[in-house]
Structures are given as structure tokens and as C-alpha cells.
Amino acid sequence: MTTHDRLIIGFDRALRAITGTASAARPNPSAKVVEQALTDSERRHSAGLMRVNHVGEVCAQALYDSQGAFSHNPETRRQFEQAGREEEDHLAWTAERLAELNSRTSLLNPLWYGGAFLMGAAMAKLGDANSLGFVVETERQVEAHLDHHLQVLPAADVKSRAIVDQMRLDEIEHGAAAQALGASELPLAVRTAMKGVAKIMTTIAYRI
């Protein structure tokens, strides 16, 4: 694939991520789960949490696209592309769930995507080991974040739970794959800063 081809594909993925029109290659984990009744407050809470998860997937698309584009290692680039395709499944699943909950994706998706793309490009410029280390730490934090969502989602929202559970399994695999490719451990200050940025993002995305 030429650089020109990758740019076109990346631009298409960016548009689909920002507009919430991504398509999934795998079946939605909640497709065969029977919807249960939710109160209005439960529905709003679930929608806020799933909007946060959708924003996380918008950022994942940007990160994997930028890290793959600036990687000089074909094996590393292939891993970023594979993970990005699976993250697009998550993007489609969360968007579908938001529609079922009569809600919407974040109004700030262009901002989330742009910021994440720049961050991914900056990490890639530091070399594949650091870039992969960023993936490992990101996926570690996302796993913890999804664990928390499984605790706080309404008990009756079994459809959202099915999606989040599969997302969690995929994120663990992505982190392990990046680790196997030679990821380096990020400094504590960087890991702490990542948590702070994630906290700000999730707080805003829950509402906007």
C-alpha cells in the first residue's frame, strides 16, 4: 500500500469516526441480548457512559492511524492497522447502542480526534518502543475504565454490558500484542499525565 493510499484510507476512517458512521466487521455482542426496561435516569446514565466509550474509540482510531502512519517498522504498522480495525468495531457498536438509548455521540468528536492524532504522532516520533509503550499504558488504563463501567452501568442494561465486556477483552489483547512487539515502560510522570487527560475527557464527554 502506498503512502497516498494510506492517507486516503486514514482520511475516510477519520470522517467515519468523527461522524459516528463507522461499520463493524464483527457482529454486535448485544445483537442477541434482549433489551430490558430502563428508567429515564438509568437510560441517561447508560447513554452518558456509552458516549464516553464512543469518544474513547474515536481517540483510538486517531491514535492508531497516526502511530501507524509514522512507524517505520512494517510489523508494528500491521499491528496498529489490525488493532485499528477492531477498534472500529467498538466505534460502531457504541454508536449503535447510543441510538438505541435515544442519545447521540459527543459534539466534540472533531476535537477529540484531532488531539489524539497529534498525541499519537508525537509518540510515534519518539520511536516504536515508546509508541508501543504508549499503547500498552493506554490499554491498561482503558481496561480499568471499562471494569469501572461494568460496575456502574445499570444492572438492567444488559445490552451495554455485553458491548463493554467484549471491548474490554479486545483492549487486553491489543495491550498484550504491543507488549510482545517490544514496548518500553513509560515514565511515571507520563502515565500520571495520561490519567489526568483521560479524566478530563471522560468528565466532559459524559455530558457533551
Domain presence at residue 3: no
Q: How far apart are CA 65 and CA 10, in angstroms?
A: 6
The answer to the question of residue 189 being in a domain is yes
- Is residue 75, in this structure, part of any structural domain at all? yes
Q: If 0-12 CB within 10 Å is exposed, 13-18 middle and 19+ buried, where does residue 204 land?
A: middle
- CA torsion 145-150-151-154 (nearest 10°) is 130
Tens of pLDDT, residues 148-179: 999 999 999 999 999 999 999 999 988 898 88
The number of C-alpha atoms within 13 Å of 182 and in the hemisphere containing its C-beta is 6
Q: What pLDDT was estimated at residue 146?
A: 94
Question: CA-to-CA distance for 134 and 129, rounded, in angstroms?
Answer: 9
Low-confidence residues in the chain, pLDDT < 50: none
**How many structural domains are present in the chain?**
1
d(CA 139, CA 168): 9
26 lies in some domain: no
Residue 2: inside a domain, yes or no?
no
Residue 114 lies in a domain: yes
31's grid cell: 445483537
The predicted pLDDT at position 169 comes to: 93
- Return the SS3 of 132: helix
Q: Which domain holds residue 150?
A: 40-207
Is 160 a member of any domain?
yes
pTM of the model: 0.86
Which DSSP category does 170 fall into?
H
The 3-state DSSP class for residue 39 equals: coil
H helices present in the chain, as ranges: 3-19, 40-69, 74-100, 109-125, 128-152, 158-180, 188-207
CATH number, domain containing residue 147 = 1.20.1260.10
Q: What is the pLDDT of residue 151?
A: 93
| pLDDT value of residue 19 | 66
pLDDT value at position 7? 58
With respect to residue 136, please indicate whether it lies within any of the assigned structural domains: yes
